[in-house]
Amino acid sequence: MKQVSEFGLPSTGAVLAFMVDCLGVPRKTDAYDYKEIERLEAGGLAEAKYWAVARKIMDAIIASFLDHETASQTIDMAFQQTVTAPIKRIHWLMQKGVLVPVPERAAPHEASYWKRNATGKLENFGEILVHDWIEFLAWHEFLVGKFGSAGKPRHNVIFYWACRFLVPFLAVNLNDYQRNNSMFESGMPAGKFWYLPLAVLSKGTNEKPRIKWPVNAVLEWWEDLLGSDLASHASQLCDPGDDSYPCY
């Protein structure tokens, strides 16, 4: 479906599959199954099926912090606002030998303002996060259209993609959240970039460097607050009779 290049970027499907793993979203639900995610990640789905599965996974990711119905409605609203935003300029992309005009739109009017109540407290921050997330996916899809995608992108390609696109995008938005007093880190340890992957260097010659993901940092913070291992609270955290979420 996308042009394949040895030096291509990770596909949008691969980015969504990574988010599923990173955020702990189930890889199998009533809406999609494990094989669909694998095929989405590898680019093995037809165009219509690709975006149908991608949308189901987007709903599941947003539903991890909003209820499912609200998640789907919020994504629909963000997409609608995006396609009705004013056009800044036109990009031309080659699709199957044909130049196709692709509009680059300005920020939707609704996304340009931070809604606050009478006391000045920020409202609907979840909607802002969804807007920014969809903007990230749209820009990534634009880059994939420009440079192609690869089944397993090379590490140096991932490095440049992260340094020149992912990290700057995150930095600008996180600064915006802080500047608007969004309380994005409410309840979390201050002064630490816990929401970003952390490279943990080896302490010995036989130990390999590893990456600590944000979900691990959150779990460790919970253990610190509780003063005990989370495994000791297994009976309270999940249903021992539920085989889909085994307790340890």
Q: What are the boundaries of each domain within the chain?
A: 4-184, 195-248
What does the pLDDT read at residue 241?
Answer: 58
Banded pLDDT at 110 (limits 50, 70, 90) = low
Banded pLDDT at 157 (limits 50, 70, 90) = confident
Banded pLDDT at 239 (limits 50, 70, 90) = low
Please name which of 155, 196, 132, 134 lies closest in space to residue 9, comparing C-alpha atoms. 155
What does the pLDDT read at residue 7?
Answer: 64
Banded pLDDT at 248 (limits 50, 70, 90) = very low
Whole-angstrom distance, CA of residue 218 vs CA of residue 192: 12
Residues 6 or more apart whose Cβ sits within 8 Å of residue 219: 230
The residue among 143 and 227 whose pLDDT is bigger is: 143
> Of the ranges 29-38, 119-128, 195-204, 224-233, which is most confident?
29-38
Mean pLDDT to the nearest integer, 142-161: 81
What does the pLDDT read at residue 243?
Answer: 54
Strand partners, 210: 200
pLDDT tens, position by position, 193-203? 777 788 887 77
The mean of the pLDDT values for the chain is 78
What does the pLDDT read at residue 205?
Answer: 67
Banded pLDDT at 122 (limits 50, 70, 90) = confident
Residues 6 or more apart whose Cβ sits within 8 Å of residue 113: none
- pTM, to two decimals: 0.68
**In terms of C-beta density within 10 A (0-12 exposed, 13-18 middle, 19 or more buried), how is residue 203 classed?**
exposed
Collapsed DSSP state (helix, strand, coil) of residue 228? coil
Residue 42 pLDDT > 60: yes
What does the pLDDT read at residue 113?
Answer: 67
Residue 78 pLDDT > 70: yes
Do the Cβ atoms of 34 and 4 come closer than 8 Å?
Answer: no
Residue 74 pLDDT > 60: yes
Quote the tokens at residue 155.
């590490």
What does the pLDDT read at residue 30?
Answer: 83
